[in-house]
Chains A and B, each alone.
Chain A
Amino acid sequence: MDIENSSIDTWTIEISPNKRFFKIDLKGLWSYRDLLAMFVKRDIVTIYKQTILGPIWFFVQPIMTSLTFMFVFGGIANISTDGIPHILFYMSGLIIWNYFSECFIQTADTFSQNANIFGKVYFPRIIIPISKVISGLIKFSIQFVLFLIIWLYYYFQDNVLQPNYFILLTPLLVVLMAFIGLGLGVLFSSITKKYRDLKFLINFGVQLTMYITPIIYPLSEIKSNSLKLLMMFNPFSHIIEAFKYSFLGRGEFDIYGLLYATCFAFFVFVFGILVFNKTERNFIDTV
C-alpha cells in the first residue's frame, strides 16, 4: 500500500469560501442521477395517491380551462380563432403555456419549499428544480397525448387543419419552454430566498404574461403596431405561434422570431443556473 503517495493531492472534496462563478460540478451532478429519478417519482406518484381516477386528473385541468376559455373568450367575447375549432385552438396554446408556468412556478420557490431538506443534507441543489421540470414534462406529455387525440379527430373530420413539417420542431419548442421556465425559476428562487418581495409578483406576473402571449387570440388579430411590437418582443409569442402553426396550419410562424426565442431561452437558462449555483452555497444562512 502506497499510502504516502496517495495522501498528497488526492482530496476528493474541497470546501472553500468562494466558488468560482462558472464552476459547475457536472460530475457530482451525474452521480446524483438516481436521486433525480426518485424526486421525479415522488412528484408524480404523490399527486394521485388516494384518488380513484389517478393520473386521469392530469387531463381534467387543461380540458376545464379550455372549456372556460371557449365559453368566455369564444362564446361571450367572440374573439376569433382563425377558423380553427375552438377546443383545439385554446388547448394547443394552453398545454404548452402550462408547461412553462408549471416549470417556472414550481422552481421559483425551490429554496423556501425545501429549506428543511437543504438544511439537513447535502446534494447538488439544482437536482430539485430539474426534477420539477422533468415531472412537468411527464404531465405535459399526458396532456399532449390528449391534445393529439382531439387533433386527430378533427384532422379526419374536416380539413380545416393544415399540419406541416414544422411539427418536427415540437421537441425544440418544448425544450425552449422548459429552459425559460427553469432559468427564470431558479433565478427568481435565488433572489426571493433573501428578498422575499418578488414572490408576490410571481403568480401575478405569470398571468399577465399569459395575456400578452397569443394563447387566447391569434397573433394575426393584433392590428395596433405598438402591441404587435410588444408581442414580437415577447419570446413566448414566437414559440406558441410556431406550435400552433405547425399543428393547425394557421398563425404567424417566423423563423427569426424563433431564433430570437432560442437565444433568449439559452441566455436565461445559463444566467439562471450560474446565479443559482452561486446562491445555493449560503442560502441556508439567509432563508
Chain B
Amino acid sequence: MSEIILKVENLSKIYRLGEVGTGTISHDLNRWWAKIRGKEDPASIVGQVNYRDEIAKSDYVYALKDIDFDVKRGEVLGVIGKNGAGKSTLLKIISQITSPSSGFVKAKGRISSLLEIGTGMHPEMTARENIYLNGSIMGMRKHEIDSKFDEIIEFAGCIMYVDTPIKRFSSGMSVRLGFAVAAFLEPEILIVDEVLAVGDAEFQKKAIGKMKDVSYNHGRTVLFVSHNMSSVQHLCSSCMLLKDGQLDSIGKTGLIIDKYLKINKSSKSFKRKNNFEEIYVSDLKVISENKDSINSGDNIEIQLFYDSIKIDLNSNYEFIVGLWNENSADQFMLTNNYINKEIKLKNKTGCIVFSVKKIPLNNGIYSINTMIKKNNICMDFQEQVFSFNIENNNYYNSGVSYPNNYNGIYVDFSMNLL
C-alpha cells in the first residue's frame, strides 16, 4: 500500500505583478530572447518570495517556490495555509489547469479535480443531459455514466425531475446534482478545493462522508484544500502547510494544524490600533501545564495583555474572554463579574490572568474573543484573536476518552454504589 502515486518535484510558479497590457510585448520579447539564447528566464532570477505585505521589488513573484512532496496510494492529504499561500495554485497545477514555471509533477492514473461543482452545466438542458455533459467534462466515459446513471439520480434525489431543464431547479438542487456526478467519479487521484463550503450542513456531512468512503473503501487518493480545520482533521491522515508559496511542513494532521494555528497567532493582524479609544487587548497567550500541547483536562492559563493611553483609577474594569468552537458556537465565557471580583487598574499596560482548572473541552479547534468594559461600557471588542487546538487526551486519567465522533464536553464526576 505504500506505492507513491503522485510525486511533486521542485515545483515553482511565477506570476507577473501589475497589469497585463502596455509593455507586455517587450516583456515577452525579453523572456523569449533569453530563452532562445539558452539563458535562464529573467523572470525567475528576479522573482521574489510571496510576502504580500512588502513592497514589490520586482515585476515577478513566486506563487509557489520549490515545492516537493509525495503522496501514497489511499492517502488523504490536507493542504492548509492562509489565503494566498499558494494552495489553489498548487491544485491548479496538479490538475493541469495551468502549467508550472519549473519543476515536475508525476502521477499514476487519472486525476480529477473538483474545484467547482457542476462545471459546464447548461441551464437549458435537462438533468439527464447535464449529468452526461458534466460527467464527460470531469473525464468520465459515456459507458461509465450509463452504468452509474441511476445511482447518480438517486444520490441527487431528483428522480422526478430527470427530464426538466435545470434552470427550473432550485440552486440547492443543482448543487446536489453536480455533487452527485462528482461523487461517482472514479479517478485514482481526486483533488478537492473548498467546494464543500457551499450547501447546507446536511449536504456537507454527506459530502465528507462520501469522500471518506472513497478514500478508505476504494483506496483512492484525495488532496483536500480547506480552511475548515475540523473537516481537515476528520478527513485527512496527513497534512501539508503552505506559507507564502513555500512548503512549511508536512506530516501528521494534528501536528500540522497546531503549527498552522501558531502561525496565525503571530500574524500581524493582532498588532493593530491607531484608533482605539482608551484601552485595548494587545496580546493573548494560552499556556498549558504541559508545555507543548493543550489537552482536555489540563489546567490552563489565559494571559490577556492590555495596553492603554489612559486609565481611570476609580473605574471598574471588566475583562471578558469568550471561547468559540470552530462553528462559532459559544463554549464558555470568563469575566471578573461572575466571581464578584473588582479590578482597579493602576498601570497603563499589564496582564490579566484567567486560570481554568481541568478544561472540560473535547478535542477540536477553539478561538478566543475578548472584550474590555469600563463601567459597563464596551471599550474594546475583538473576535477570534487567538486560536488553539485541544487534543483529546485522557481527561479522567483513566486512559479512556470519548470516541471520535462524540462532540460533548467533559465533566468532573464521581460515582458510588449506595
Question: Which chain A residues have a beta carbon within 8 Å of chain B's beta carbons?
Answer: 3, 6-7, 10-17, 19, 31-32, 34-35, 37-39, 41-42, 45-46, 49-50, 116-123, 194-195, 281-282, 284-286
Contacts and interface: CB of A to CB of B under 8 A. Distances in A.
A3 B122 contact: no
A19 B139 CA distance: 22
Contacts of B133: 38-39, 41-42
Interface in B75-131: 92-111, 113, 115-116, 119-120, 122, 124-125, 129
B124 A50 contact: yes
B24 interface: yes
A122 B124 contact: no
Q: 4 tightest A-B contacts by CB?
A: A122-B96, A35-B136, A15-B105, A11-B106
B137 A123 contact: yes
Given A12-B109, A13-B106, A17-B102, A121 B97 contact: yes
B142 to A, nearest CB: 4
A13 B111 contact: yes
A42 B136 contact: no
B97 A120 contact: yes
A11 B107 contact: yes
Given A15-B96, A49-B165, A122-B113, A41 B124 contact: no
Given A7-B4, A17-B103, A46 B136 contact: no
Given A7-B3, A122-B95, A16 B104 contact: yes
Given A11-B108, A12-B107, A13-B106, A284 B98 contact: yes
18 contacts: A7-B4, A11-B106, A13-B96, A15-B93, A16-B99, A34-B141, A34-B142, A42-B129, A116-B119, A118-B97, A120-B116, A121-B95, A121-B97, A121-B138, A194-B20, A195-B25, A282-B98, A286-B20
B319 interface: no
Nearest to B142: A34
A18 B25 CA distance: 20
Contact of B108 (A10, A35, A195): A10
Interface string B1-41: 00110010000000100001000110000000000000000
Nearest to B92: A284
Chain B interface residue number, banded: 35 or more
B124 A13 contact: no
Contacts of B98: 281-282, 284-285
Nearest to B99: A281
A118 B97 CA distance: 7
Given A17-B100, A17-B101, A194 B24 contact: yes
A12 B137 contact: no
Contacts of A13: 96, 105-109, 111
Residue of B98, B138, B165 with highest tally of chain A CB at under 10 A? B98
B97 A46 contact: no
Given A7-B4, A17-B100, A34-B142, A120 B115 contact: yes
Contact of A117 (B94, B109, B120, B165): B120
Contact of B105 (A14, A38, A42, A46): A14
A284 B92 CA distance: 10
B132 interface: yes
Given A42-B125, A120-B116, A120-B119, A14 B104 contact: yes
A16 B94 CA distance: 10
A116 B116 CA distance: 10
A24 B104 CA distance: 19
Contacts of A194: 20, 24
Contact of B137 (A11, A35, A286): A35
A121 B113 contact: yes
A201 B138 CA distance: 34
Contact of A34 (B25, B92, B136): B136
Contacts of A19: 99
Interface string B320-338: 0000000000000000000
Nearest to A287: B20
Given A11-B7, A46-B124, A118-B97, 9 more contacts: A39-B133, A41-B133, A116-B119, A121-B97, A121-B137, A121-B139, A122-B113, A123-B139, A281-B98
A146 B109 CA distance: 48
Interface string B217-230: 00000000000000
A125 to B, nearest CB: 10
B122 to A, nearest CB: 6
Given A194-B20, A281-B98, A284-B98, A46 B106 contact: no
Contacts of A46: 122, 124-125
A116 B118 CA distance: 12
A12 B99 CA distance: 17
Contact of B99 (A17, A31, A42, A118): A17
A118 B116 CA distance: 11
Nearest to A1: B3
Contacts of A123: 137, 139
